[in-house]
Amino acid sequence: MNPLTTAPPQRPASSGSETRDSWRAFTGPRRPEFTAPDLHETTTSRAVHVELINFLTSRTVRTMTAWGLAVLLTPVALTPALVVTAMILTGRWLIDLVEPTGIHGAAVRPHWRRELDFTVALLALFYVVPIPVATPSVLLFLATNLILQETWHRIPARTHQQSRRMIDAVPVHTTHVVIVGTGDNARAIADSILDEPTTATSVIGFLDFQDRGLWRYRDIPLIGQPTDLEEIVRLGQVDAVFFAMDAADFGRARPVLAQAEAMGVPVIALPELYQPQVARTLPAFMSGLAGFQYHTASVNRIALFLKLALDKLGAAFGLILLAPVFAAVAAAIKLDSRGPVFFRQVRVGLNGRPFRMLKFRSMYTDAEERRKQLLDQNEHSGPVFKMANDPRITPIGRIIRKFSLDELPQLVNILSGQMSLVGPRPPLPREVIEYEPWQRRKLSVKPGLTCLWQVNGRNTIDFEDWMRLDLEYIDNWSLLLDVKLIVRTIPAVIKGTGV
């Protein structure tokens, strides 16, 4: 039996609210990135995280618009304006976090009352902390802000409901798992998954050292032996592997566990069989069954939530502030050569999940066909293709590539949750097929716009060192590291060196 040709069983149909629930342990496009140790999470708790960030982003944009109008229409010095901006946003975020009206439509007090409280608090702050900003600027901001915020909340409820339905219509990807073993524990895991309507999880199949022929359990097939795991992960999406084999097979399972860890696939073992070299060991509980989860990515919930907030707000502000740059680059591309402004390409994201990445088009439209003719001129090691003087690149393309302007549309991918501001660059599917097991671990986190490779001179680093830098980022990730990489990326982009 070929394990790669056996289709995974489908879960019974359920309502939209049920299928949107999934395990926090395995990251999806609308969940905080990376993972957390819990295996279950309700739809409401996950939605509050995502919607709170979206709500704060929306409110911030409206507040900044009001302050921008006030600055433009009245004489305000730059430094005081920046100080006032920081004070306004800090006060707004604190008020919204204490009483987040608008989350799931729950309004504790009238909107005008909240805006009046914000106005009084801001005026009191200006009285206590004197700042050299003209009084007309502050009064104009308060009036404009009150009008914008109140107008937003007076939009007909039907419009908000339609927007909500559009958001809910975005498909939630199913978590795909493999179960190693066919005994009681393995079947109990399958029962827990199939009998729980609030998990969007599909069991690809069972793996077992024993030859059991055409064995099946609840329509889940036996797709091979544990030694087939590398091939299954390489050619498909596997979000987690459960190890629940018989005691006689515990010793034989160690190489398979090491292989899963090297490829960056989360492992849940019943019981603990392996001492990981890189992965973190965390307790996992599911329907009364206790086990251990080995995860190579960070599971710090607070830090991951803050990273998600940084991604959302950073992408939103980037799209707004860089709108003139977008327009200028788009016009230059249209004038330079025939073809679309944007280039969409399938890349591989978290745990092997494919997505369409956006870029400004920097090559001629027949670039992919011409690549096959240039393979013998590849100047980079490994499965990637790079040429210093690639003839497929347009004149404008060379300029926007030098300053990484072609990557700016990926802010849309970040805002949609497919990418992060900082993380390993998303590879092509044909590159992933040629990865060694240890190299695939870079897919255990969301891909990003910049990482260690970009700020250390990407064109001078060979493929294996590039992969090691990505794994170094994963193993040492922190919010401070992300901030440092973003700060180092800005001058590299301006100078047109490295990035």
Four-CA torsion 313, 318, 323, 327, nearest 10 degrees: -130
DSSP 304-369: HHHHHHHHHHHHHHHHHHTHHHHHHHHHHHHHHSSS-SEEEEEEE-GGG-EEEEEEE--B-TTHHH
Does the pTM exceed 0.75? no
The pLDDT score that the predictor gives to residue 62 is 66
The answer to the question of residue 233 being in a domain is yes
Claim to verify: residue 103 and residue 195 sit in the same structural domain: no
Q: Are strands 267-269 and 289-295 parallel, antiparallel or unpaired?
A: antiparallel
Range of the domain at 153: 47-166
Q: Are residues 285 and 204 in the same domain?
A: yes
Q: Which pLDDT does position 87 carry in this prediction?
A: 62
Among 118, 151, 166, which residue terminates a domain?
A: 166
Length of the chain: 499
80 and 148 share a domain?
Answer: yes
| Residue 493 host element (H or E) | helix 479-495
Q: How far is 195 from 108, CA to CA, in rounded Å?
A: 38
Write down which residue in 295, 321, 338 finishes a domain.
295
Q: Is 352 in the same domain as 471? A: yes
**Domain contains 236:** yes
Note whether 451 and 370 are same-domain residues: yes
Phi, psi of 492 (to 5 degrees): -65, -35
Are residues 288 and 314 both part of a single domain? no
Residue 355 CA, chain-centre distance (Å), reads: 11
- 264: which 2 tokens? 């960056």
**Coil, helix or strand at residue 237:** coil
pLDDT 10s per residue in the chain (499 long)?
444 444 444 434 333 333 233 333 333 333 323 233 344 443 444 445 555 566 556 666 666 776 676 666 666 555 565 556 666 666 655 555 555 444 444 444 456 666 666 667 666 666 666 666 666 766 777 777 767 766 766 665 555 555 555 545 545 567 899 999 888 888 988 998 888 866 678 899 999 988 777 889 999 999 999 989 999 998 888 999 998 887 777 778 888 988 898 999 998 887 656 667 888 777 777 766 767 778 888 878 888 899 999 999 999 999 999 999 999 999 999 998 889 999 999 999 999 999 999 999 999 988 888 888 888 887 778 888 888 788 899 999 999 988 889 999 999 999 999 999 999 999 999 999 999 999 999 999 999 999 988 888 766 788 888 999 999 999 999 999 999 999 998 888 887 765 4
Pick from 295, 314, 339: which residue ends a domain?
Answer: 295
Other residues' Cβ atoms within 10 Å of the Cβ of residue 37: 17
CATH of the domain at 218: 3.40.50.720
Whether residues 283 and 186 fall in one domain: yes
User: How far apart are the C-alpha atoms of 170 and 166, rounded to whole Å?
Assistant: 7
Q: Do 203 and 153 belong to one domain?
A: no
Looking at the fold, whether 181 and 74 belong to one and the same domain comes out as no
Total structural domains within the chain: 3
**What per-residue confidence (pLDDT) applies to 18?**
34
Q: Which residues pair with 202 in a beta bridge?
A: 176
